[in-house]
Structure formats: C-alpha cells, structure tokens
Chain A
Amino acid sequence: MIAGSASAIAAAVRSGDRSAVEVLEEHLARVGRHEADIHAFNLVLEDQARAQAAAVDQAVAAGRDPGPLAGVPVALKDNLCTRGIPTTCSSRILEGWKPPYSATVVERLAGAGAVFVGKTNLDEFAMGSSTENSAFGPTANPHDLSRVPGGSSGGSAAAVAAGFAPLALGSDTGGSIRQPAALCGVVGAKPTYGLVSRYGLIAFASSLDQIGPFALDVADAALLLDVMAGPDPCDSTCLADPPPGARARLAGGVEGLRVGVVRELANAEGLAPEVQGRLDDAAASLSAAGAKVDEVSVPAAVYGLSAYYLIAPAEASSNLARYDGVRYGLRAGRAAGTGADPTDILAMYTDTRSAGFGAEVKRRIMLGTYALSAGYYDAYYGKAQQVRTLMVRDFDAAYRDFDVLLAPTAPGTAFELGAKTADPLTMYLNDVCTIPSNLVGHPAISVPFGTGADGLPLGVQVLAPALGETVMFQVAAVLEAAAPPTPASPMRGEAR
C-alpha cells in the first residue's frame, strides 16, 4: 500500500486513525496551490465535499462503517451526471445544466463513503486524446506543464497524478482512460463492456463507452472497480450475472500463466521505439516471474483504428442529435448572447448546435452522418461492423492459447500542447493500441512502466477476455511490482 493511496486512507478513516475532513483538507490544499497551473477541474466541490467528509466522520464516531471508500477523495469526470451539480461534458451546449439525477456509479461511490472533490475536465463529449478539445481550456500534464495529459479523461488522470485525489472516474470509448493514465503515470482500467452501469454517463458511442477507474496503484483501481461494478435496472446493457472480483487474486502471481504479446499492436503505426523497448521489458519481467510469454497474432487488430473512426462517430451522430435546444442546455438566441432569436424551430436547432458544439464534435457528427448516409452505409458503417466481427474472432482465437495479452498503451510519452491539434488523423493515431478492446468489449488496464527518454511516464497494457478482470488485475499487479520506477509528479511528491 503506497502512502496516500485510497486503500491506506480508507483503512485509516475506518479505524478512526485519521478523519475524513483532515484527509479532504490536505487534498483541497494541494488543489488550492496547483489547480491554476493544471486546470484538472471544471468545478471543485469544496462545500459539498466538506459535508460528505463530515458525514463520514460522524458515521465512524457513531460506530457505523462508512464503507470501503471511507473518506477517500474521488474526482469525477464531468460527463457523469451529478444531481443538482453542473455537468458540462466540457461543452458550451451543456454549460450551466444541472442534471435531475445522478449516475449509478456516483450513487454507488457515495454509498461506499467516497468524498467527491470535483468534476474533471475532458475533451468535449469525450471526443479527443489530449483534453485540448474542452470548451473551458486545456488541462496540463502534472509531470510537465507544457505537455498534454492525454484524453479524453485528461482532467481525471491529471487530478490523480497531481495528488488532488487518489482516485478518479473516467470513461473509455477508444482509450480515454488508459491513454491519459499512461501519459500521467497512473493506473487506468477499462472494464468489460456491461460490467459497470452506464446510467448517467452522458453517451458518446453507446456500444463502446464504459466507465472505469483511475488510481495511484493497481490495488486501488481494483478496489474502485469492485465498488462500482454490478447490475443496474437503469441500464439494460449492464450484465445481470455477478461480476468476478477485480481483487480476487491480486497477490496470485503469474506462475504458469500464458501471456501473449500482440504482434500487430507492438508494431502499430506511429509507435516510438522506446515504447517497444518498454513493452519488451514488461514481457521479460512477466517471464522472469514465471509466466509463459510468447508472441501472438491478432490480424484484424490492424483495422481497429479505421473501424473505430467509422463506428464511434456514427453512434455519436445519433446520440448527439438530442442537443437541440428544446429540453435542456443552450438555446441560441438573444438570451444566450449568440445573436438574434431564431424565428422558427429549424433555425433554432441549427443556431443552437452551431454555437454550442466545438470543432471536433462537429467533425465527428458529420463523419458519422456521412458514414450512415444513403449510398455510403454499406461501404463504411456496415463494413466496419463486419470488421468488428473479425476482431472478435481473432481475439477469441488468441485467448484459446493465452490467458492475457500484452500491448503498449500509447504510441509515445505526453506530447506538447498544440502539437497535434492541426491534424485530426494524427491525433486519432494515439488510440491505435487501445481501440481494439472497446470494439470487442473486453477489459484492459494500463500500468505505468518506466519513462521515455524525456523522463515522462509510459504505460503498458494488459488485455483480458470478457469478464477476465480477475486475471487481468492479477497480471497487472505483477507488472507494477516489476516496473522501473516512475517518478511522482512534483505536486504529489511535495512534502505535506
């Protein structure tokens, strides 16, 4: 258990050794010192967090157990609905909106004793890989303020890396938890599709989106996932069978496990040579720990990026049709300061969406609309869905010979702010190693594994078959123990 980890905090708060209020104030003080530099949050929830922490302390004083996350500060990605608290998706179109309900995961965490520090910044509607597509400005990487934190859950990754909260929630549609986790030197996991309820997660691409944990270490990520996993009557795609525990075999080791290094992802387009080097080191460390490591081919994985950038925008174009200025959010017109009041409803839709959405969201809506439109559907969307089937078949074949698979997380370390904003395709290539898990619905976790030549963190991914969380976390724990040291950010590393 590392100092300041969620497990350490919860244990100390439950036993009465530390108060939740004291823990919170320590984290809020760090937010106060460094948030202006980092901009991890769209909203810091100081008052509400203080009330939650005080309630946790009262429970302990009264002899009641507040739960497994007792007094643990948690940052929430700002695409998770929080009742009565602004939820923006980092978009002008939802600015100021207060949801009339909370996401199921938010309720579950509150019920487990968590304390919500704030709502974190993201690429608008979770579309991006750098958090630069936020309507409220970019987030900086705590390890180097001139670099991006990754995205789309960049605010959540930065909040954990900066020591603003030991845990955060993100959402992962094509790598939006794992890539920022790698770039910020923290642990991030995308669970099996359907393990965690999506109720209250504002939809981007419904067949790909999953909520997952950010944490300082593998054990904390498993703890957070176990708290939020499980069936939910409000999400019919949430699996009814009880999930296997992420923490069931954390200390199980890898003796005798079969680990496959995915050839197509280890050699994916645009990968920095040092990323391949770290992947080789990770494979060697698992082998030294007793795993049987071999190379494996997942041929259809090379089509992941292309298929994803047809399927995700197609689903997004449909999901984002709801932002029409009628029921909530922005309505263009004099009151909103966007110009004259539209005279009819079509003009109102068009004015509202044109003023409310940023450039990347418009790009994806148009790409998706095109991929679904008459004459192109078969060539693009239909074809991408068939590729999805090929990927499922190829991964199933790989898992006949291997328990887990190994791949890089991101093509390199964190890049400079502004370096990839001019060319969308270059930005999309960040997701080349993370996308396959979303398309097939399988879980994957990014574990920090040393640094690049620039001294910035790198991550390695463990992929597992559907509902293979137990073995995935088991292997991740061994990788973590074997990893070369990853420095803490200056903010988190500083003396309290």
Chain B
Amino acid sequence: MTVMGARITTRDVAHVARLARLRLTDEELEQYTGQLAAVLDHARDVELLDTAGVPPTAHPLPLRNVLRDDVVRPSLDRGEVLAAAPSVEAERFRVPRILGEAP
C-alpha cells in the first residue's frame, strides 16, 4: 500500500499514542502532529527514492545465529532483582488487575 503524499493526522497520532501506551492532552496531540509531520516531510526524499531490487539492511554486521554451549551459569540474584520492583508479592512481580472490562 502506498502512502505517498499522505500527511500524518491527529487521528494517526492518537492511534500510535494508544499503541505505545501514552496519554496525550488535546494540546499535546496538536503539537506532536505538527512536529511528526515536519520530520516525515523531511523523510520524503527517502520515500521518493527508487530502491526497487535493493535488499534491506537491518543490521551493520552479517551475523547469523551466535551459539554458545548449553552450560549452567550464575544468573542475576533473585532478591536483588525483586528489590528493584515497584511491587512484589511471594517472590513475584505484583501488578494491578489484568482481567476485566477493557478500557
């Protein structure tokens, strides 16, 4: 699907904010939409470039699977890790209600 010429709208920004679990005020929504539009306008040069047949580069190194021997090694100390958590119960991370009415 091509989106050439399409400009990001407040509706798009509200959508990505929701996906990214960010809450924006109406004022922030307007401001971010303008700023993201400016960056995407600058990226128009890349959007318009003919790259047919050019393979993508996701990473600068031609690494494939990097394997190690499956041996038991010390890992992080459980007490130290849990001590950094905002809320803990019975050696587990405690979180607010997960099931229920979706917002």
Let me know if B42 and A306 touch, CB within 8 A: yes
A193 and B84 in contact (CB under 8 A), knowing A307-B46, A386-B55? no
Residue A367 interfacial (CB < 8 Å): yes
Rounded to whole angstroms, the CA-CA distance of A100 and B79 in the bound complex is: 10
Contacts of B81 in A (CB 8 A): 100, 327
A51, chain B: closest CB distance, angstroms: 21
Residue B72 interfacial (CB < 8 Å): no
**Which of A28-36, A167-175, A338-346 forms contacts with chain B?**
A338-346
Let me know if B51 and A386 touch, CB within 8 A: yes
A343, chain B: closest CB distance, angstroms: 6
Let me know if A303 and B46 touch, CB within 8 A: yes
Chain A residue at smallest Cβ distance from B41? A425
B44, chain A: closest CB distance, angstroms: 8
Contacts of A239 in B (CB 8 A): 61
Most buried by A among B47, B58, B61, B96: B96
Let me know if B57 and A388 touch, CB within 8 A: yes
- Chain B, range 37-71, C-beta contacts under 8 Å to A: 38-40, 42-47, 49, 51, 54-61, 63, 66, 68
Rounded to whole angstroms, the CA-CA distance of A423 and B61 in the bound complex is: 34
Residue among B13, B42, B51, B58 making CB contact with A305, cutoff 8 Å: B42
B73, chain A: closest CB distance, angstroms: 9
Residue among A236, A325, A383, A390 making CB contact with B63, cutoff 8 Å: A236
Cβ contacts B59-103/A at 8 Å (1 or 0 each) = 111010010100000001100110011110000010111101011
Let me know if B59 and A428 touch, CB within 8 A: no
Contacts of A466 in B (CB 8 A): 60
Let me know if B47 and A383 touch, CB within 8 A: yes
Let me know if B51 and A383 touch, CB within 8 A: yes
Most buried by A among B68, B84, B103: B84
Residue among A101, A303, A363, A383 making CB contact with B36, cutoff 8 Å: A363
Rounded to whole angstroms, the CA-CA distance of A428 and B38 in the bound complex is: 11
Counting residue pairs across A and B whose Cβ atoms lie within 8 Å, the total is: 181
Let me know if B59 and A366 touch, CB within 8 A: no
A346 and B22 in contact (CB under 8 A), knowing A233-B68, A366-B32, A390-B54? no
Chain B residue at smallest Cβ distance from A320? B20
Chain B residue at smallest Cβ distance from A344? B97
Let me know if B93 and A327 touch, CB within 8 A: yes
Rounded to whole angstroms, the CA-CA distance of A317 and B83 in the bound complex is: 27
Interface of A is mostly: helix
Let me know if B16 and A370 touch, CB within 8 A: yes
Rounded to whole angstroms, the CA-CA distance of A238 and B49 in the bound complex is: 33
Rounded to whole angstroms, the CA-CA distance of A439 and B58 in the bound complex is: 9
Contacts of B61 in A (CB 8 A): 193-194, 237, 239, 441
**Which of A274-282, A350-358, A453-461 forms contacts with chain B?**
A350-358
Residue among A341, A343, A349, A388 making CB contact with B56, cutoff 8 Å: A388
Contacts of B51 in A (CB 8 A): 383, 386-387, 390
Let me know if B22 and A97 touch, CB within 8 A: no
Rounded to whole angstroms, the CA-CA distance of A393 and B93 in the bound complex is: 48
Let me know if B97 and A343 touch, CB within 8 A: yes
Interface of B is mostly: loop
A378 and B23 in contact (CB under 8 A), knowing A100-B80, A383-B51, A428-B39? no
Let me know if A378 and B1 touch, CB within 8 A: yes
Let me know if B86 and A331 touch, CB within 8 A: yes
A373 and B16 in contact (CB under 8 A), knowing A344-B98, A366-B22, A424-B35? yes
B interface residues, tally (CB under 8 Å): 57
Let me know if B85 and A328 touch, CB within 8 A: yes
Let me know if A366 and B23 touch, CB within 8 A: no
Rounded to whole angstroms, the CA-CA distance of A321 and B19 in the bound complex is: 10
Let me know if A389 and B20 touch, CB within 8 A: no
Rounded to whole angstroms, the CA-CA distance of A79 and B22 in the bound complex is: 23
B67, chain A: closest CB distance, angstroms: 9
Contacts of A423 in B (CB 8 A): 35, 38
Chain A residue at smallest Cβ distance from B15? A373
Residue among B24, B58, B86 making CB contact with A207, cutoff 8 Å: B58
Residue A310 interfacial (CB < 8 Å): yes
Let me know if B13 and A387 touch, CB within 8 A: no
Let me know if A379 and B42 touch, CB within 8 A: no
A269, chain B: closest CB distance, angstroms: 10
Residue A4 interfacial (CB < 8 Å): no
Let me know if A425 and B38 touch, CB within 8 A: yes
B89, chain A: closest CB distance, angstroms: 13
Let me know if B20 and A317 touch, CB within 8 A: yes
A376 and B23 in contact (CB under 8 A), knowing A239-B61, A383-B47, A424-B38? no
Contacts of A407 in B (CB 8 A): none
Let me know if B20 and A347 touch, CB within 8 A: no
Let me know if A327 and B43 touch, CB within 8 A: no
- Chain A, range 367-406, C-beta contacts under 8 Å to B: 367, 369-370, 373, 375-376, 378-380, 382-390, 392
- Mark A residues whose CB is within 8 Å of B: 97-101, 193-194, 207, 233, 236-237, 239, 302-303, 305-307, 309-310, 317, 321, 324-331, 335-336, 341-351, 353-354, 357, 362-363, 365-367, 369-370, 373, 375-376, 378-380, 382-390, 392, 423-425, 428, 439-442, 466
In the assembled complex, 14 residue pairs joining A and B whose CB atoms fall closer than 8 Å, in A order, are A193-B60, A207-B59, A302-B45, A303-B46, A324-B21, A329-B84, A348-B95, A350-B21, A351-B23, A388-B56, A389-B57, A423-B35, A424-B39, A440-B60
Known: A354-B23, A384-B43. 9 other contacts (CB 8 A): A207-B58, A207-B60, A305-B42, A306-B46, A335-B86, A345-B96, A346-B103, A353-B20, A439-B60
